[in-house]
Structure 1
Amino acid sequence: MKYYRKLVSVGLALTAIGLSLAALAAEPVTPKLTDKLSRLLQQEMRSVQSAMATIHVSMVTGDHKQVEAQAQQIHDSFILKQSLTEQDKKDLMAAVPEGFVTLDKDFHRLAAGLADAAKNKDTQKQYKLYNKMTGSCIACHSQYVSDRFDGLTEQ
C-alpha cells in the first residue's frame, strides 16, 4: 500500500510538472507575422524542405558535392539576411521571441557544418548533423508553429 501511495504521488507530481511546462510553451508566431513576412518564411521553409530531401538522398548515395551545395543553400537562406526593409526587420523581431531566433541561427549554423562535412566527405558527420537539423526543425515547429503542425504539440 505504501508503494502504491508513493507511485500515485510521483504520478501526480509528474503531471503537475507537465502541466506547468505546457503553460510555459511558446505561443505560435504565425498569427503575429505580417503577410509579407509570412510569405517569406513559407517560401524559405519550402526551400529548406526541398533541400533537406535532396540532402537525404545525396547522403545515402555518397553524393558529397550535392550535400555540400544543398546544405550551403540552407545556410545562405537565413531569413534575417534576406533583403528585408528596416520595417520588416522590426516587424519580425516584434513577432518572434528570442528562442525562435536562437533556434533559427542554430539551424543555419548546423547547415554550414553539414556543408563542411560534405566537403570533407565525412559521411558519419553528415549523418549526425542532418539528424540535429531535423531535431531543430521539430523543436521549432512544435514550439512556434504548433497552430500549423498540431501533431507536434506533444513534443
Structure 2
Amino acid sequence: MKLSEKATLLALTLAVVAFSLSTLAAEPVTPKLTDKLSRVLQQEMRAIQSAMAAIHVAMVTGQHDEVASQAQQIHDSFILKQSLTEQDKKDLMSAVPEGFVKLDKEFHQLAASLADAAEQKHTQKQYELYNEMTDSCIACHSRYVSDRFSGLADQEK
C-alpha cells in the first residue's frame, strides 16, 4: 500500500470514529442542576415554547412585527445573561457540557437572526430560521435532556 493510500485510509478511519463519537447521546444535565437552575431553565423553556408557538402563527399570517418581537424575546432570554449570581453561573457551568452552552448560544443567535428577517419582512428567511431553531431544540433535548424527552433519545445527532 502506498503512503498516500495509507494516509487516505487513516483519514477516513479517523472521520468515521469522530462521527461515531459525535452521535453518542450526552449524559442528561437535568440531574446535575441545582434546584434554582432547574427552575430557571424550565421557566425559560416554557417562555421559549410559548414564543415559538406565537412565532409560527405570526409567520403564517404575515405578522412580521409579532415575529420580530417574539424572536427578540427569545434572544433576550439567554440563560447566561439573566441575573444569576456568580455561584449560580459556576453551578451552571459545572453542570452542563460545553456542547450544551454552544447549542444554547447558537439557538439564541438564530432567534436574533429571525427577528432581523422579520423586520425585513422576509417570510422565506423567517421560515428557514424557524426550522433551524426547531432543529436546534430537538438536538439539545435529544442530547442533554433525554431523561425528560425519552421520545427523542434515539434521534440522530
* 1:111-122 equivalences in 2 (<5 Å): 111-122=111-122
DSSP 3-state at the match of 1:24? coil
Contact kept? 2:25, 2:153, Cα under 8 Å: no
| C-alpha distance after superposition, 1:71-100 (max 9, x if no partner) | 000000000000000000000000000000
Shift of 1:24: 3.5
Match of 1:150 in 2: 150
Q: How far is 1:32 from its partner? A: 0.1
Query: Is there any run of 5+ residues in structure 2 with no aligned partner, and where?
Result: 1-16
Query: How many pairs does the alignment contain?
Result: 137
Equivalence for 2:92: 92
- Measured in 2, the distance between the counterparts of 1:104 and 1:130 equals 15
Aligned 8 A contact 2:141 2:152 in 1: yes
Give the partner amino acid of 1:139.
A
- For the aligned residue pairs, the C-alpha RMSD in angstroms reads 1.4
Q: Which amino acid aligns with 2:26?
A: A
Residue type at the aligned position of 1:87:
Q
Percent of paired sites with the same residue: 80
Question: Could you report, residue by residue, the CA deviation over 1:79-135 in whole angstroms, capped at 9, with x for unpaired residues?
Answer: 000000000000000000000000000000000000000000000000000000000
Secondary structure of 2:147 counterpart: coil
The answer on 1:41 being equivalent to 2:41 is yes
Distance 1:37 1:153 in 2: 23
Cα distance in 1, alignment partners of residues 154 and 47 from structure 2: 26
Offset of 1:21 from its aligned partner? Answer: 4.6
TM-score, normalised to structure 1, is: 0.86
1:43-66 deviation per Cα after TM superposition (whole angstroms, max 9, x unaligned)? 000000000000000000000000
Counterpart mapping for 1:25-36 below 5 A: 25-36=25-36
Measured in 2, the distance between the counterparts of 1:22 and 1:104 equals 17
Correspondence 1:105 to 2:96: no
Note closer, same or farther for the CA distance 1:98–1:61 as it changes in structure 2 (3 Å cut).
same
Distance 2:25 2:107 in 1: 20
Give 1:38 deviation, angstroms.
0.1
TM-score, L = length of structure 2: 0.85
For residue 23 of structure 1, report the CA deviation from its aligned partner: 8.4
- Deviation above 3 Å: which 4+ runs of structure 1? 20-24
One-letter code aligned to 2:35: D
